[in-house]
Amino acid sequence: MIKVGIIGYGNLGKGVEKAVNAAADMELVGVFTRRSPEKTKTVSGAKVYSVNDLEKFAGKADVMVLCGGSATDLPEQTAKYAALFNVVDSFDTHANIPEHLAAVDAAAKKGGHVGAISVGWDPGLFSLARMIFGAVLPEGKDYTFWGRGVSQGHSDAIRRVKGVKDARQYTVPVQKAVDAVRSGAMPELSTREKHTRECYVVLEEGADAAAVEREIKEMPNYFADYETTVHFISEEELKEKHAGLPHGGFVLRSGKTGENSHLLEFSLKLDSNPEFTGSVLTAYARAAARLAAEGKSGAMTVFDIAPKYLSEKDSAFLSAHLL
């Protein structure tokens, strides 16, 4: 049995908890939180400890899954805990990946551990698709579309607008753009041409709807560059119709071998982004523990890990049944 710990217990941590409990070859050591362990109840009844007690678990867990955020948690935590454990994270600030990779690599090598970083679906499975598609069809062009799905970052940005009580933002791929890519036309597409943004907003009492809408639509980086629609709804409607965290998207590669055109596509349609991401992290936690058991160490990405390490099944089963 692979002994797994979870560091951080938000939606993602709960997704990992569910996936680890469902895996026949894994057992949950516990959940580690910065909040008060006494006040944290886990969904499955898993034990809760303070992150301050993590050092005591060195040698008692085969891998720790880090479920914090990429803005402040992971840049600090992953390298720190890679010194003590094999770790997996979902670090997704694309621009800072090389720096994060180097920091985790140094710590993991020093501690003799494996640190699998930037695991999930993007970065993660979508990265794998982009990389493999490019390698098997070198003459071509990549396209990544996200959605239809809830962007937590954009929802948070709307919530910070004065007069907004709650909000949910959906990133929506533009069907015309997807169709153009699928046709093999290899269009040049700006971010604006690829996605629109749909906002569902609950106003505070007495708030100025027109002013809120204007402020959202003009928000730089988040909305100003997109076709954005704002729908004002009641708190009840938000809870009833927008409680889930669905997401998904497509990676397409359109290309040629000489005169012949080819289209490769990978798509995801997820009812729960954090549960699916947690399930992917759990498969990579298995890989990290196994690679470490083989004597490997250092930081790794999805590109460095042979697919067989992800599966509960052994190699003989895989080649007989899935090849």
Residues near its own copies (CB under 8 A) are 15, 18-19, 22-23, 94, 97-98, 101, 118, 123, 125, 127-132, 134-139, 257-258, 260-272, 275-276, 278-280, 283, 286, 301-308, 310-313, 315-316, 318-320, 322-323
Closest to its own copies by CB, 139 vs 208, is: 139
Tokens of 84: 């003590």
Closest distance to its own copies from the beta carbon of 244 (Å): 8
Closest to its own copies by CB, 50 vs 93, is: 93
286 preceded by a cis bond (ω within 30 of 0): no
Closest distance to its own copies from the beta carbon of 274 (Å): 9
Compute the distance between CA of residue 103 and CA of residue 185 in angstroms, rounded to an integer: 41
Closest to its own copies by CB, 83 vs 283, is: 283
Identity of the residue numbered 150: V
Compute the distance between CA of residue 203 and CA of residue 234 in angstroms, rounded to an integer: 8
Residue 288's nearest CA partner among 104, 92, 131, 75 is 104
Closest distance to its own copies from the beta carbon of 118 (Å): 6
The residues, ordered by sequence, that sit 6+ positions from 77 with a Cβ below 8 Å of its Cβ are 7, 66, 68, 89
Closest distance to its own copies from the beta carbon of 101 (Å): 6
Closest distance to its own copies from the beta carbon of 302 (Å): 7
CA 117 to centroid of chain Cα atoms: 11
Closest to its own copies by CB, 49 vs 91, is: 91
- Separation in Å, CA 40 to CA 9, 10, 36, 43: 9, 11, 7, 10
Closest to its own copies by CB, 229 vs 261, is: 261
Residue 177's nearest CA partner among 163, 189, 159, 160 is 189
Closest to its own copies by CB, 270 vs 292, is: 270
Residue 84's nearest CA partner among 112, 105, 49, 51 is 112
Closest distance to its own copies from the beta carbon of 136 (Å): 5
